[in-house]
């Protein structure tokens, strides 16, 4: 039995905005794979909920005329992984969300919930950071767009004001076309786990496929919220693919992160993972981008 | 003949179709919900408890607190009762306790109309504590500034026992000996049975009925009686199918409290079900143990003298207490026989963490992790093949334990080792894995064990069985021994069919135990039932068969010794010619106008023997050094459990044990905050049980010996599968990397830190 005071079901975005405005204390629930756990733990016991799970306009993936890929936030992880647009243009995102929990969670959990939960370990978040995703927020005063980095305000805290909800995740063509990407979830188990460290690299190579044109490197659990590594990204621009490149990535990325020690893992251990996984993610991303490794 | 055949589980169809009734399915009708209030300090005293606001919440029926429960301290361990006061379990807790000894101690209970109301009421109870500094380790608990948790136990030492065979110091004086020393530590783990502890309690005709998910219904009845100060006959315990126990339900945890709660509400039915978090913290765990081992050995690998010093972290309450580490040191003595001397010193110490109790293999996995890691270190130091070192020193046929008198009547250990050695191409792989470089390295390792069967001579071993004939010649079979998922009902059915001479389908086992009806047995633990309860079953079935044949003699005049029962038929022994069916005899026996008799048999058997079972585990791993990941490429257990009663069930039993052992070796640990004693990972996300994707194919092998003391040549198999994998994995990692890890679980962070320390990273 869950301790829920009231649940309101919205069938359209407009109705959701209305319900959220009328019940400012209410929490948004989509798949429920995070919210129900918090209710059970007592953290959100006795809460009011607005369900957006029935809003069909928030589900599915489409591609716009300018090549922008738009993901509805109530799209489940398994739908994303199986989607032909994702498979064709951003396979790294499909692979990343295929590592969330287990099959049941991936069928019910949604990508919008994953990022709106505001946690650093969310499997979709670091990849969306690397893809420079832009978020569309709808509220009583209309719609606004912001980069995903600005959505995260702190651990568990995202930029949603009263009456607002996330209505689209947008990825522009320039952030995926020509890129190869690879996501590594490092956890204590191979399934049903949260990341001890998450690392994703997307990379675009030069025409002869032997040097880096552009790299996006994002990390989860290396800080309180997901993060990009701008210094490392800048440092590798134009660099040849050789052993020195990976050393450079491993060493530079360490200057950008400040993970903390907790009972789950020490800072030293996480730093070792940051260094090693950044190299490994980049190596695989280079292969996916059509390059080759000679070490 | 059904022994030795893979007879299908007799409860299989019921379980896979969802028709089998577990405790939660057992009670139909209206009932109340009880929830326990747990302490939020680990060490202290409840100064006051205010339930006035909670009581006013609509739907709250009653609240009981530690201020008003009966002033009776009782023992919770699921041991047979001892009539010798010196051998009785420690009675150190009431149903609810003012003296708080762990974070999560039971201090009050709410009875409400539903679960949401009960939980809301818990949040409204105000508790004021006097707090003391908590201590979570044995070292802290034994130090001078630790508060004493129990009045009767100074320095928080529950018990300290020692023995010496030969003279250790003298033996060490031999010239040319090499000495090895090591400290080995194991962690706190939990059973993680899928069904959390649950019971229903209600009153009927002035008696209390408790339906519970327990391994030990008859012991449960006794403890409820003791805890409530009621005659034991006033209590009736019913045990339906249960969703796993692994020793945690060999303890009487919340049944007494629930029995008490129903008396507070006029005997209305009360359901008390624990959450997963409560199960992790407030039930029982496997004791974390630390061992200091010292061994004197000749250059050829012959062990001369050994010393074991051990410390067991008991947590807040005595539970099964010192019996665990006492079993560890006994097992240490059994597995290898040194030539001259063995010295043992072991302590069990109270701390402010979750209480240690029985868990599959009862202290042996911890000791074997230490012992078999140590043996590997010795082999490595002496440059002897680890298998040769073990073979030179391990228990041989005919061994008699000098302290317990248990004799080794059957021993397939060497054959188990040989089987693993061949399957894993041991010699070739050991040679191939020498001097590896690079980030990914492979290794192979093994470990062995011995284990007892039942608890004789430490405790009472008694069991009873009843067989009742039906009018069609089929029978009901009743035992106090319990089905807890291991397949007991199926092998008991096979045993009865085998001895009486019936078809398996004509034996109807009654799975549910009801202490008002079911013959006495102490229950499922110590891998005892197929051995001890099997003896009672055999005795009863033989008596029953004799009665059938005696009645057949009345009907058909043949001398009893001329007849036998085969596949449900009365036959002439010599020729096998069918005289009649057992059904013909049954019908006549029931309805005869001259001599009507209802044929039944019931017998008690007191077992006064024990048997050593054996086994080995072989493991091959791949270690990803820069990130500290261990991939288990292959793992195999090989067991000598005597005659295998049902090969398919036996194999499944081994798989389950190995799965638990993978977690114990590589990923599971229940953690407590060192400052507050608060549990940190009391859920299935943060406590890392291996998933299917972390589990390689689990291979099981058997070496069948005939155990003469066993009712069917059989000996223990329930617990042993979970013993040897952790050290086998540890030794494989050692083989791969040259790094000896002496602390379980061997998780990535520990590996990375050791690899850095030793220059591998």
- For residue B694, the 8-state DSSP code is G
d(CA B343, CA B296): 12
Q: Does pLDDT of A294 surpass 80? A: no
* pLDDT above 90 coverage of chain B, percent: 99
Q: What are the CA-CA distances from residue B541 to residues B496, B499, B677 (Å)?
A: 6, 6, 53
- Whether the per-residue pLDDT at A295 is higher than 60: the answer is no
B663 to chain A: nearest residue by CA? Answer: A189
Q: Is A276 on the interface with B (CB under 8 A)?
A: yes
- Cis omega (within 30 of 0) on the bond before B553? no
Three-state DSSP state, B59: coil
State the Cα–Cα distance between residues B107 and B128, nearest whole angstrom.
Answer: 11
- Residue B140 near residue B58, CB atoms below 8 Å: no
A46–B749: do the CB atoms touch at under 8 Å? no
What confidence tens digit (pLDDT) does each residue in B250-305 have? 999 999 999 999 999 999 999 999 999 999 999 999 999 999 999 999 999 999 99
Q: What is the distance in angstroms between the Cα of A138 and the nearest Cα belonging to chain B?
A: 33
Q: What is the ipTM of this complex?
A: 0.96
Query: Tens digits of per-residue pLDDT, B645-687?
Result: 999 999 999 999 999 999 999 999 999 999 999 999 999 999 9
Q: Does A271 touch chain B (CB under 8 A)?
A: no
What pLDDT, in 10s, does the model give residues B720-758? 999 999 999 999 999 999 999 999 999 999 999 999 999
> Phi and psi of A277, rounded to 5°?
-75, -30
Share the mean pLDDT of chain A: 97
* Confidence check: pLDDT of B505 > 60: yes
> A264 touching B, CB under 8 A?
yes
Q: Place A184 in a pLDDT band, splitting at 50, 70 and 90.
A: very high
* Residue to substitute from B37, B694, B750, B757, interface A, most A β-carbons within 10 A: B694
pLDDT band (50, 70, 90) for residue B487: very high
B693:A269 CB<8 A: no
pLDDT for B701 beyond 60: yes
Q: Which residues pair with A147 in a beta bridge?
A: A134
**pLDDT tens digits for range B4-50:** 999 999 999 999 999 999 999 987 788 999 999 999 999 999 999 99
Where are the extended beta strands (E) located within chain A? 4-9, 27-29, 47-51, 61-63, 69-71, 134-139, 142-147, 152-154, 157-158, 165-171, 180-186, 197-205, 212-220, 227-228
A246 to chain B, minimum CA–CA distance in Å?
Answer: 14
In A, minimum Cα distance to B679 occurs at A263
Q: Are B206 and B220 in contact (CB under 8 A)?
A: no
**Sign of the torsion formed by the C-alpha atoms of B580, B584, B586 and B588:** negative
Sole residue written with tokens 């040319």: B176
* Span B156-197, pLDDT tens digits: 999 999 999 999 999 999 999 999 999 999 999 999 999 999
Going by C-alpha positions, the residue among A218, A181, A178, A150 that lies closest to residue A67 is: A178
3-class secondary structure, B104: coil
Query: Is residue A102 less than 8 Å (CB to CB) from chain B?
Result: yes
Q: How far is B33 from chain A (nearest CA, A)?
A: 12
Q: Does A263 touch chain B (CB under 8 A)?
A: yes
Helices (H), B557-630: 582-591
Q: Which residues contact B144 (CB under 8 A, 6 or more apart)?
A: none
Let me know: does B582 contact B568? Beta carbons within 8 Å.
Answer: yes
Q: Which of B213, B482, B170 is nearest to B342 (CA)?
A: B170
CB proximity A45 to B under 8 Å: yes
Q: In whole angstroms, how large is the CA radius of gyration of chain B?
A: 27
In terms of DSSP H, where are the helices of A9-90?
Answer: 13-22, 35-41, 77-82, 84-89
Mutation pick from A47, A100, A119, A188 vs chain B, by most beta carbons of B within 10 Å, is: A188
At B28 the pLDDT is: 76
Cβ contact A3–B667 (<8 Å): no
CA distance B148 to chain A (A): 28
The verdict on A189 touching B (C-beta cutoff 8 Å) is yes
Task: Of B697, B681, B698, B700, give the one whose Cα is nearest residue B689.
Answer: B681
Nearest to A269 among B115, B667, B749 (CB): B749
The pLDDT of residue A241? 98
Choosing among B693, B754, B761, which should be mutated to test the A contact, i.e. which has the most A CBs within 10 A? B693
Report d(CA B581, CA B22) in Å as an integer.
36
pTM metric for this prediction? 0.97
Find out whether the peptide bond into A226 is cis, omega within 30 degrees of 0.
no
């Amino acid at each position: 039995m869950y301790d829920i005071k009231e649940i309101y079901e919205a069938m359209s975005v407009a109705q959701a905005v209305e319900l959220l405005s009328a019940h400012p204390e209410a929490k948004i629930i989509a798949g429920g794979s995070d919210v129900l756990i918090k209710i059970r733990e007592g953290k959100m016991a006795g809460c009011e909920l607005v369900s957006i799970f029935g809003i069909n306009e928030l589900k599915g993936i489409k591609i716009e005329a300018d090549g922008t890929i738009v993901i509805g936030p109530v799209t489940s992880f398994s739908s994303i992984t199986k989607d032909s647009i994702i498979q064709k243009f951003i396979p790294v995102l499909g692979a990343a969300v295929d590592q969330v929990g287990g099959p049941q969670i991936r069928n019910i959990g949604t990508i919008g919930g994953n990022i709106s939960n505001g946690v650093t370990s969310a499997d979709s978040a670091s990849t969306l950071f690397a893809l420079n995703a832009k978020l569309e927020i709808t509220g009583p005063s209309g719609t606004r767009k912001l980069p995903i980095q600005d959505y995260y305000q702190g651990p568990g805290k995202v930029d949603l004001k009263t009456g607002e909800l996330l209505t689209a995740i947008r990825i522009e063509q320039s952030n995926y076309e020509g890129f190869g990407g690879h996501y590594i979830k490092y956890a204590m188990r191979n399934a049903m786990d949260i990341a001890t460290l998450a690392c994703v690299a997307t990379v675009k190579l030069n025409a002869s496929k032997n040097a880096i044109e552009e790299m996006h490197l994002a990390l989860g659990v290396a800080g309180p919220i997901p993060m990009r590594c701008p210094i490392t990204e800048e440092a590798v621009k134009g660099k040849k693919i050789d052993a020195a490149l990976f050393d450079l990535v491993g060493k530079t990325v360490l200057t950008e992160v400040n993970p903390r020690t907790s009972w789950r893992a020490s800072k030293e251990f996480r730093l070792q993972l940051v260094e090693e996984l950044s190299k490994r993610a980049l190596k695989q991303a280079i292969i996916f981008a059509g390059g080759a490794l000679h070490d | 003949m059904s022994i030795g055949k893979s007879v299908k589980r007799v409860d299989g169809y019921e379980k896979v179709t969802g028709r089998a009734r577990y405790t939660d399915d057992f009670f139909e009708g209206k009932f109340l919900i009880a929830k326990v209030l747990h302490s939020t300090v680990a060490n202290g005293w409840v100064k006051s408890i205010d339930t006035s606001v909670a009581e006013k919440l609509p739907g709250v029926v009653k609240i009981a607190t530690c201020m008003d429960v009966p002033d009776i301290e009782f023992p919770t361990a699921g041991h047979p009762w001892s009539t010798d006061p010196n051998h009785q379990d420690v009675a150190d807790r009431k149903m609810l306790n003012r003296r708080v000894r762990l974070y999560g101690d039971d201090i009050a209970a709410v009875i409400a109309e539903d679960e949401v109301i009960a939980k809301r009421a818990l949040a409204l109870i105000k508790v004021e504590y006097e707090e003391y500094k908590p201590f979570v380790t044995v070292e802290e608990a034994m130090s001078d500034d630790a508060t004493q948790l129990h009045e009767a136990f100074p320095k928080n030492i529950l018990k300290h026992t020692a023995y010496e065979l030969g003279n250790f110091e003298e033996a060490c004086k031999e010239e040319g000996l090499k000495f090895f020393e090591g400290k080995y530590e194991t962690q706190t783990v939990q059973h993680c049975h899928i069904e959390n502890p649950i019971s229903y309690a209600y009153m009927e005709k002035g008696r209390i009925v408790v339906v519970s998910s327990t391994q030990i219904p008859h012991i449960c009845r006794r403890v409820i009686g003791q805890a409530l100060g009621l005659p034991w006959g006033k209590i009736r315990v019913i045990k339906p199918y249960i969703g796993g126990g692994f020793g945690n339900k060999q303890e009487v945890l919340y049944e007494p409290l629930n029995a008490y709660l129903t008396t507070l509400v006029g005997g209305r039915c009360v359901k008390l079900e624990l959450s997963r978090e409560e199960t992790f913290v407030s039930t029982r765990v496997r004791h974390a143990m630390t061992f200091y081992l010292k061994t004197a050995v000749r250059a050829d690998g012959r062990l001369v003298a050994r010393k074991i010093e051990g410390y067991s972290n008991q947590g807040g309450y005595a539970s099964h207490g010192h019996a665990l580490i006492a079993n560890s040191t006994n097992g240490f003595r059994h597995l290898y026989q040194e030539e001259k001397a063995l010295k043992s010193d072991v302590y069990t110490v109270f701390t402010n963490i979750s209480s240690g109790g029985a868990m599959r293999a009862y202290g042996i996995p911890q000791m074997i992790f230490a012992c078999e890691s140590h043996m590997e270190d010795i082999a490595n130091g002496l440059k002897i093949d680890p298998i040769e070192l073990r073979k030179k020193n391990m228990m041989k046929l005919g061994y008699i334990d000098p302290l317990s008198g248990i004799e080794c009547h059957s021993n397939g250990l060497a054959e188990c080792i040989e089987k693993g050695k061949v399957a894993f191409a041991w010699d070739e792989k050991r040679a191939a894995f020498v001097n590896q470089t690079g980030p990914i390295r492979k290794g192979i390792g093994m470990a062995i064990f011995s284990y007892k069967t039942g608890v004789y001579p430490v405790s009472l071993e008694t069991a009873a069985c009843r067989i009742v004939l039906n009018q069609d010649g089929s029978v009901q079979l009743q035992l106090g021994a319990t089905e807890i998922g291991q397949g007991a009902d199926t092998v008991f059915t096979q045993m009865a069919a085998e001895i009486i001479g019936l078809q398996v389908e004509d034996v109807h086992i009654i799975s549910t135990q009801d202490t008002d009806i079911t013959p006495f047995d102490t229950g499922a633990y110590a891998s005892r039932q197929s051995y001890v309860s099997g003896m009672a079953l055999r005795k009863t079935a033989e008596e029953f068969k004799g009665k059938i044949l005696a009645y057949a003699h009345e009907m058909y005049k043949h001398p009893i010794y001329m007849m036998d029962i085969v596949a449900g038929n009365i036959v002439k022994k010599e020729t096998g010619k069918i005289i009649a069916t057992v059904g013909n005899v049954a019908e006549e026996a029931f309805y005869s106008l001259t001599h009507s008799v209802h044929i039944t048999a019931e017998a008690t058997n007191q077992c006064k023997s024990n048997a050593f079972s054996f086994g080995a585990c072989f493991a091959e791993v791949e270690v990803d050094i820069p990130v500290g990941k261990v991939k288990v490429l292959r793992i195999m257990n090989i067991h000598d459990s005597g005659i295998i009663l049902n090969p398919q069930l036996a194999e499944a039993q081994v798989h389950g044990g190995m799965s638990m052992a993978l977690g114990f070796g590589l990923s599971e640990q229940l953690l407590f905050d060192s400052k507050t004693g608060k549990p940190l990972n009391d859920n299935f996300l943060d406590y890392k049980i291996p998933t299917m994707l972390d589990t390689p194919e689990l291979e099981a092998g058997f070496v069948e010996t005939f155990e003469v003391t066993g009712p069917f040549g059989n000996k223990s198999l329930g617990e042993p599968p979970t013993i040897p994998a952790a050290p086998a994995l540890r030794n494989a990692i050692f083989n791969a990397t040259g790094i000896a890890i002496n602390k379980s679980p061997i998780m990535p962070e520990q590996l990375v830190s050791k690899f850095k320390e030793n220059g591998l990273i």
